[in-house]
C-alpha cells in the first residue's frame, strides 16, 4: 500500500509540473507501466498558442470592417465640426433674432466648446472603463437630441445654455473617436488612417457653408407661436446633426474595440469581436486561421471598473488613481507638451476660424476692400456700422455670397490638405510635418498684418487656419502611440480638452479685442503658433 501511494504521488507531481521527465523507477517494477502511461498522456497535452492582437489584424488584412469603421468615425467627426464650427454662420444669421453684439456672438460660439472642455475627461474615463462604442452611441445621440431642441429656442441665454449642453455630449465623440478608430488598425497604419479620417473635417467645413448657402438663400418664415418664427437658419441645425444620426445607426452594428477588451483582460469578448472582424473581412472565422487565444495587455489594473455603487468621493479617488500614471514618468512630459501644442493649435485654427465668415462678410461689404489690410477692413466695417446706425434701425443679418464662397474654399483646402498630409507623412514623418505646417501658418498670420491684395489676404488667411487644423489629427495619432491602451482615452480627452479650452479662449479674445486691438491680436496669434512649432521639436514622434 505504501508503494502504491508513492506511485500516485509521483504521477500527480509529474502531471502538475506539466513535464515529460519521469522519476527513476527502475527498481520499482510495478510502477513502470503506470508512469509510462502518464508520460504518454503528458506528451499529448495540447500546447496553448496565444496570438498578439496586431499579428491577428495582419492575418485578417485590411477589409470591409476597417472601411466601415473609418467612414463611421468620419461621420462622427463631421458632426463635431458641424455643431461647433457651424456656429460661425449661425451667429451671423441669428444676430437680428437675438440682437447680438460681437461679444454675444463670441459667447454663443464658445458655448459648445466650454461644454466640451469641461466634460471631455468624463467621457474619456468612461471610454476606458465602460467602452468606446457605448460612449460614442450615448454621447452622439444625446448631442443630436439636445441640438434638435435648440432649434426651437428663442431666448438668447436659453439658446447659449442649450449649446453648452450640446457641447457636453459632443465631448464624447470629439475625443473618443480617434481612440476607437485607431484600435481597429495596426500601429504602422494608424497615423495614415487617423489622418484620412480627418478628411471628413474638411468635408464638414465644406458641407456647412454649402448647405447654409442653399438654405439661407430661401426666403420663408414659419410662424410657430405669436412670438416665435421658425426661419431658415433654424433649419441649419438639423443638417448639422444629420451625420451624427447616421453614425449612431451604424455603431449599433459594430463591435467594441477588441484592444480595449484586451486591456481590461476580457479575452473572450475580445476574441468574439476579432472573430466578427475576421468573418466580415474574409468570410472565415478565426479558427480557420489557427487563432484561438489572444494575448491580454499586462500593464493594466484588472480592477478597472466604474464605481457606480460607491460614494462620489470614492469614485473621484478611483478616477484619480487611474489617471495618476498619465501624469508621471515616463508619460508626463510628452503628455504635457502635447496638451500645450494642442491648445495652441485650437486657439489659432478654431478660435480664429469661428470668426472667418464674420471677417469675410465684413470684407465683402467694404467698398474700400480692394486695397486694405484685414485690420483696416475691420476698422472700416465699424465706421460703416456706426454711420448706418444714425440713419436706420433696420437690422441686417444677410451673408454675402463671397463669404460663403470663401468658407467653402477653406473647407476644400482642408480636404486637399488632409489628402496631401497622408503622402507627406509617409515621406517626412509626423514631427517634420507638424513643424513645417505650423511654421507656414505663423508666417501667413504675420503676413496678414501688411498684405493688401484681396486674393492674397484670403489665401494667407486660409493657410493660417488650415495648417494647425491639419496637425490636430497627426498629433492625436502621435499621442495614441505615446501612451498605453488603458490610458489612451483619458490622454486624448485631456489633450483635446486643453485644445477646446484654447478655442474658447481664442474666440473670446477676438470678440473682445479684434475691433480695438486688431494688429496686436493677429501678432499674438502668430506668436502662439510659432511657440507650438518649437515645442514639437521636443516630442519623440
- Could you write out the DSSP letters of every residue in 83-136? HHHTHHHHHHHTHHHHT--HHHHHHHHHHHHHHHHHHHHHHHHHHHHT-HHHHH
Beta-carbon contacts of residue 167 (< 8 Å; ≥ 6 apart): 83, 84, 111, 112, 113, 114, 115, 116, 119
Rounded-to-10 torsion of CA 201, 207, 213, 214: -170
- Cβ within 8 Å of residue 506, ≥6 positions away: 346, 347, 348, 350, 351, 352, 525
Whole-prediction pTM: 0.73
Answer whether residue 159 shows pLDDT above 60: yes
Q: Please report which confidence band the pLDDT of residue 355 belongs to, taking 50, 70 and 90 as the band edges.
A: confident
The pLDDT of residue 486 is above 60: yes
Indicate the range of 14-18, 409-413, 460-464 predicted with least confidence.
Answer: 14-18
For the segment 296-307, the average pLDDT, to the nearest whole number, is 48
CA gap 127, 175 in Å, rounded: 10
* Percent of the chain whose pLDDT exceeds 70: 82
Q: Please identify which residue in the block is written with the cell numbers 498605453.
A: 484
Average pLDDT over residues 41-45: 48
Closest CA to 451 of 461, 442, 464: 461
323 or 39, higher pLDDT: 323
Query: For residue 10, is pLDDT > 50?
Result: no
Q: Each residue of 283-302: b (16+ CB within 10 Å) or e?
A: eeebeeeebeebebbeebee
Answer yes or no: are the C-beta atoms of 23 and 267 closer than 8 Å: no
On the CB side of 100, CA atoms within 13 Å amount to: 24
Between 312 and 533, the more confident residue is 533
Asked whether the predicted pLDDT for residue 475 surpasses 70, the reply is: yes
* Residue (of 483, 486, 507, 506) closest to 495 by Cα position: 483
Partners of 482 in the beta sheet?
Answer: none
DSSP-derived 3-state class of residue 246: helix
- Categorize the per-residue pLDDT at 304 as very low, low, confident or very high, splitting at 50, 70 and 90: very low
Using CA of residue 463, residue 211, residue 141, residue 224, what is the dihedral sign? positive
More confident residue, 136 or 414: 136
Q: Is the confidence at residue 39, as pLDDT, over 50?
A: no
- Residue with C-alpha cell 434701425? 393
pLDDT at residue number 502: 86
Give the confidence band of 489 by pLDDT, cuts at 50, 70, 90.
Answer: low
Per the structure block, which three cell numbers stand in for 514?
479684434
Instruction: Pick 26 or 508 by higher pLDDT.
Output: 508
pLDDT the model gives residue 314: 65
Radius of gyration of the chain (CA): 29
Residue 383 has pLDDT above 70, yes or no: no
In tens, the pLDDT along 172-199 reads 898 788 888 888 887 777 777 877 787 8
How far CA 419 is from CA of 196, 415, 470, in Å, comes to: 7, 6, 10
Q: Which of 33-42, 211-220, 250-259, 529-538 has the lowest mean pLDDT?
A: 33-42
Residue range 53-262+313-319+329-383+399-536 forms a domain whose CATH class is mainly alpha
The three three-digit cell numbers of residue 142, written as one number: 444625446
Q: Inform me whether the pLDDT recorded for 162 exceeds 80.
A: yes
- Max mean pLDDT range (171-175, 323-327, 443-447, 494-498): 443-447
φ, ψ dihedrals at 372, nearest 5°? -140, 160
Question: Cβ distance 345 to 434 under 8 Å?
Answer: no
The pLDDT of 13-36, averaged and rounded, is 42
Res. 243 pLDDT band, cuts 50 70 90? very high
| CA–CA dist 373, 271 (Å, integer) | 60
Closest of 220, 239, 216 to residue 229, by C-alpha: 220
Q: Which stretches within 306-400 are classed as H helix?
A: 312-323, 332-353, 356-364, 374-389
Question: Quick check: 267 pLDDT over 60?
Answer: yes
Confidence check: pLDDT of 307 > 50: no
Residue range(s) in the chain whose domain bears CATH number 1.20.1250.20? 53-262+313-319+329-383+399-536
Report whether 160 contacts 107 (CB < 8 A). Answer: yes
Beta carbons of 450 and 473 less than 8 angstroms apart:
no
Mean pLDDT to the nearest integer, 116-138: 85
Q: Average per-residue pLDDT in the chain?
A: 79
Contact 413, 199 (CB under 8 A): no
* Greatest pairwise CA separation for the chain in angstroms: 120
Higher pLDDT, 300 or 81: 81
> With contact defined as beta carbons under 8 Å apart, do 280 and 64 qualify?
yes
Q: Could you give the CA distance from residue 509 to residue 384 in angstroms, rounded to a whole number? A: 23
- Of 52 and 239, the one with more pLDDT: 239
Question: What is the percent of the chain where pLDDT is above 90?
Answer: 19
pLDDT in tens, 56-91: 888 888 888 889 999 999 999 999 989 988 888 898
Amino acid at each position: 500500500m505504501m508503494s502504491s501511494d508513492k506511485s500516485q504521488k509521483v504521477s500527480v507531481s509529474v502531471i502538475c509540473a506539466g513535464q515529460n521527465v519521469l522519476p527513476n523507477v527502475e527498481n520499482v517494477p510495478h510502477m513502470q507501466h503506470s508512469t509510462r502511461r502518464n508520460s504518454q498522456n503528458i506528451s499529448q497535452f495540447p500546447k496553448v498558442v496565444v496570438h498578439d492582437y496586431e499579428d491577428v489584424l495582419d492575418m485578417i488584412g485590411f477589409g470591409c470592417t476597417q472601411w466601415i469603421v473609418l467612414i463611421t468615425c468620419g461621420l462622427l467627426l463631421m458632426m463635431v465640426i458641424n455643431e461647433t464650427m457651424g456656429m460661425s454662420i449661425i451667429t451671423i444669421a441669428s444676430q437680428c433674432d437675438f440682437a447680438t453684439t460681437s461679444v454675444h456672438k463670441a459667447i454663443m460660439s464658445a458655448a459648445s466648446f466650454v461644454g466640451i472642455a469641461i466634460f471631455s475627461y468624463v467621457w474619456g474615463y468612461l471610454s476606458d472603463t465602460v467602452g468606446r462604442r457605448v460612449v460614442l452611441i450615448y454621447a452622439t445621440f444625446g448631442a443630436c437630441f439636445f441640438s434638435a431642441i435648440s432649434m426651437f429656442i428663442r431666448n438668447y441665454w436659453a439658446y447659449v445654455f442649450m449649446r453648452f449642453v450640446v457641447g457636453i455630449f459632443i465631448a464624447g465623440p470629439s475625443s473618443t473617436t480617434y481612440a476607437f478608430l485607431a484600435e481597429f488598425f495596426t500601429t504602422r497604419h494608424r497615423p495614415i488612417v487617423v489622418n484620412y479620417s480627418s478628411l471628413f473635417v474638411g468635408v464638414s467645413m465644406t458641407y456647412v457653408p454649402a448647405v447654409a448657402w442653399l438654405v439661407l438663400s430661401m426666403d420663408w418664415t414659419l410662424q410657430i407661436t405669436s412670438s416665435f418664427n421658425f426661419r431658415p437658419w433654424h433649419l441649419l441645425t438639423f443638417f448639422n446633426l444629420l451625420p451624427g444620426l447616421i453614425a449612431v445607426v451604424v455603431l449599433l452594428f459594430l463591435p467594441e474595440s477588441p484592444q480595449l477588451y484586451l486591456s481590461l483582460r476580457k479575452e473572450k469578448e475580445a476574441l468574439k469581436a476579432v472573430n466578427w472582424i475576421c468573418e466580415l473581412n474574409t468570410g472565415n472565422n478565426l479558427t480557420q486561421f489557427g487563432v484561438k487565444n489572444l494575448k491580454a495587455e499586462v500593464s493594466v489594473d484588472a480592477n478597472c471598473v466604474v464605481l457606480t455603487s460607491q460614494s462620489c468621493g470614492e469614485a473621484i479617488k478611483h478616477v484619480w488613481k487611474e489617471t495618476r500614471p498619465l501624469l508621471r514618468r515616463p508619460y508626463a512630459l510628452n503628455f504635457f507638451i502635447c496638451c500645450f501644442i494642442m491648445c495652441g493649435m485650437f486657439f489659432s485654427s478654431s478660435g480664429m476660424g469661428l470668426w472667418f465668415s464674420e471677417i469675410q462678410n465684413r470684407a465683402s461689404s467694404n467698398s474700400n476692400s480692394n486695397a486694405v489690410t484685414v485690420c483696416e477692413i475691420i476698422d472700416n466695417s465699424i465706421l460703416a456700422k456706426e454711420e448706418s446706425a444714425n440713419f436706420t434701425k433696420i437690422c441686417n443679418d444677410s451673408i454675402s455670397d463671397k463669404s460663403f464662397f470663401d468658407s467653402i474654399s477653406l473647407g476644400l483646402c482642408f480636404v486637399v490638405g488632409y489628402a496631401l498630409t497622408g503622402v507627406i507623412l509617409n515621406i517626412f514623418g509626423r514631427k517634420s510635418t507638424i513643424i513645417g505646417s505650423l511654421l507656414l501658418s505663423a508666417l501667413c498670420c504675420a503676413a496678414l498684418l501688411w498684405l493688401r491684395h484681396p486674393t492674397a489676404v484670403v489665401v494667407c488667411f486660409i493657410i493660417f487656419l488650415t495648417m494647425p487644423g491639419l496637425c490636430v489629427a497627426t498629433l492625436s495619432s502621435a499621442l495614441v502611440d505615446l501612451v498605453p491602451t488603458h490610458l489612451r482615452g483619458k490622454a486624448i480627452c485631456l489633450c483635446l480638452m486643453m485644445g477646446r479650452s484654447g478655442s474658447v479662449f481664442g474666440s473670446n479674445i477676438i470678440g473682445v479685442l479684434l475691433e480695438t486691438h486688431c494688429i496686436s491680436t493677429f501678432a499674438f496669434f502668430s506668436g502662439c503658433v510659432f511657440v507650438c512649432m518649437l515645442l514639437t521639436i521636443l516630442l519623440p514622434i
